[in-house]
Amino acid sequence: MREIAVVGVGMTKFGERWDKQLRDLFVEAANEALKDANMERNEIQALYVGNFSAGSFVGQEHVGPLLADYLSLKYKPAFRVESACASSGMAFNLACMAIASGMYDIVMVGGVEKMTDISAPEVTSVHAKAMDAEWESFFGLTLPAAFALIARRHFVQYGTKPEQLAMVSVKNHRNATKNPLAQFQFEVTVERVLTSPIVSDPLHVLDCSPVTDGAAAVILCSAELAKKYTDTPVYVLGFGTASDTIALHDRSDITTLGAVVEASRQAYKMAGIEPKNIDVAELHDSFTITEIISYEDLGFCEKGKGGLMIQEGETEIGGRISVNPSGGLKARGNPIGATGVAQVVEIVQQLRGAAGKRQVSGAEIGMTQNIGGTGSTCVIHIFGRQRR
Ligand code: COA
């Protein structure tokens, strides 16, 4: 298997982007990645793009060729990947395999979503399509409600407290004030989180990731080519992907995301590292409970101790493992199809030492963890400043 490097990254400002269409958002991020890699667009051999539901959000399907067209990648293969919130994480994974296999030498991976053109109830219905349509969403279960059930059960099994969930929001909002591309650049307090409107008890508005427009793009090449494009390539050391039941009720324990456990086991093994070696991680905090459970299922702490981990400040920038320095989905924003690649953009910036005010000092090894639906998909990548 050939080694893989990331040599260019680009991302739009996340938020309500009335000023740009879906295609324009993507082209902006992609052009920035090309510029960052000092690369001509005709060097790109294929495009992989994550997108969850452009058909429902803006009435546009067939986004692979659309985006290749607007990026002037004439006749180049363009693959659209859909895996709910993990769409562009999965696109990145497939692109890694294409480079590793020798099929392509240089590819672009991106993600884009434009979600704010429809009403909030409509957005909630579109999100619910990532769950079991016949046995969950048909009966009125929504994604926030599903994670509320998970949170409640975590409270019962492990004594986790609403205040500990709120601390995830406080940390990620604070980090986002140092990220000029983040959707929300304001701080919140535990009290403000706990008094914000309830979305689905015990989750408040400030426990939820928002509705976001945005795009992100990166350029991958074989490790041998990397130094031609940049002095600071970041290498993919390992990855893992796994699926789990589509419906929550088919799981023996809803407080564990089995796909996260399995995908991380594969990724640690391929990278030859343990959880304690991770310096910085971009985790999938779609809801505050998701970040807490992820600490546990990734092996950052013992099962049931995620609440304590946030409470003791272990995941602050500069803590034992810095988690979501970008602000995470919670505060950087969550344009579903773009989130996985936006996580990669942040880890690459961190490992280059180019993350500005939110830089994790001396970061050598980073992780991205991207989840789809209620954890029915998980894809994890581990990155390093040095080759394996
Ligand atoms: N966090 C922080 N602030 C938020 C927010 C969030 N999640 N959602 C909305 N806001 C802010 C808006 O910016 C706006 O602020 P303003 O008045 O200063 O402009 C205000 O709250 C009202 O926004 P509005 O768009 O009316 O909120 P809403 O009630 O329509 O939507 C949620 C709020 C929580 C329902 C929506 O953010 C949501 O559905 N989140 C979950 C998304 C999700 O499930 N994603 C998939 C995860 S896998």
Residue 304 binned pLDDT confidence (cut-offs 50, 70, 90): very high
Model confidence, pTM = 0.98
Partners of 8 in the β-ladder: 219
Domains (ranges, CATH) in the chain? 4-119+211-229 (3.40.47.10), 121-209+237-383 (3.40.47.10)
- Which residues touch 108 (CB under 8 Å, ≥6 apart)? 30, 33, 34, 44, 46, 47, 48, 71, 73, 217, 218, 219, 220
Q: What is the mean pLDDT of residues 255-278?
A: 98
Q: Which residues contact 258 (CB under 8 A, 6 or more apart)?
A: 242, 244, 251, 375
Q: Which atom of ligand 1 is nearest to the CA of 142?
A: 44
Closest atom of ligand 1 to 123 CA is 39
Whether 153 has a pLDDT exceeding 90, the answer reads: yes
pLDDT of residue 17: 98
- Model confidence at 388, in pLDDT bands (50, 70, 90)? confident
* Nearest Cα residue to atom 33 of ligand 1: 205
111-138: per-residue pLDDT in tens?
999 999 999 999 999 999 999 999 999 9
Q: What's the pLDDT at 162?
A: 98
- CA of residue 228 to ligand 1 center, whole Å: 43
Identify whether 85 is a catalytic site residue.
Answer: yes
Confidence of residue 52 (pLDDT cuts 50, 70, 90): very high
Protein residue with least CA distance to atom 12, ligand 1 = 210
**Residues ≥6 apart with Cβ < 8 Å to 113:** 22, 51, 52, 53, 54, 57, 212, 213, 214, 215, 335, 336, 337, 338
Q: What would the mean pLDDT of 38-63 be, rounded to a whole number?
A: 98
Q: Is-contact 247 131, C-beta < 8 A?
A: yes
Mean pLDDT estimate for the chain: 98
Closest CA to 381 of 95, 55, 83, 101: 95
Ligand 1: residue whose CA is nearest its atom 29: 120
Q: How far is the CA of 140 from the centre of ligand 1 (A)?
A: 19
pLDDT above 70 as % of the chain: 100
Q: Is the confidence at residue 3, as pLDDT, over 90? A: yes
Per-residue pLDDT at 307 exceeds 90: yes
Ligand 1 atom at shortest distance from the alpha carbon of 119: 30
Tell me which of 208, 257, 284, 371 to substitute to probe ligand 1's pocket, judged by most ligand atoms within 8 Å of the beta carbon: 208
Burial class of residue 222 (count of CB atoms within 10 Å of its CB; 0-12, 13-18, 19+): middle
Distance CA 143, CA 149 (A): 10
Which residues are 214's β-sheet partners? 113
Distance 210 CA to ligand 1 centre (A): 5
187-215 mean pLDDT: 98
What tokens were used for 344?
């990669």
Predicted confidence (pLDDT) at residue 317 exceeds the cutoff of 90: yes
Probe target for ligand 1 pocket from 82, 211, 212, with the most ligand atoms within 8 Å of CB: 211
**Which is the catalytic residue, given 85, 208, 221, 378?**
85
List all residues whose CB is within 6 A of at least one atom of ligand 1: 85, 120, 123-124, 127, 143-144, 184, 199, 205-206, 208-211, 286, 334
Average pLDDT estimate for 174-198: 98
